[in-house]
């Protein structure tokens, strides 16, 4: 699905901005919103080197349990 959304975004932006029909810009906007939402839901990713003998503790928390600020 990611490839389709990316294709819709690129094609809509290209065709809509080069004198094509305005609906292509709407398609590009919709694809952009889908991409942004997917990126927001992805979460955090951490990458770090680990030496032999080191231990890593991975803890998963429910975001709804976070203290309200």
What's the pLDDT at 69?
64
What mean pLDDT do residues 9-24 have?
91
pTM of the model: 0.56
What's the pLDDT at 47?
83
Q: What is the pLDDT of residues 31-58, one digit of tens each?
A: 999 988 887 766 667 788 999 999 988 8
What's the pLDDT at 1?
74
DSSP string, 1-65: -HHHHHHHHHHHHHHHHTT--THHHHHHHHHHHHHHHHHHHH---------TT---------GGG
């Amino acid at each position: 699905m990611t490839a389709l959304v990316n294709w819709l975004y690129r094609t809509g932006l290209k065709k809509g901005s080069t004198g094509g029909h305005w609906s292509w810009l709407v398609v590009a906007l919709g694809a952009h919103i889908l991409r942004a939402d997917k990126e927001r839901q992805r979460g955090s990713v951490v990458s770090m080197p680990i030496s032999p003998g080191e231990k890593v503790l991975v803890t998963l928390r429910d975001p709804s349990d976070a203290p309200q600020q």
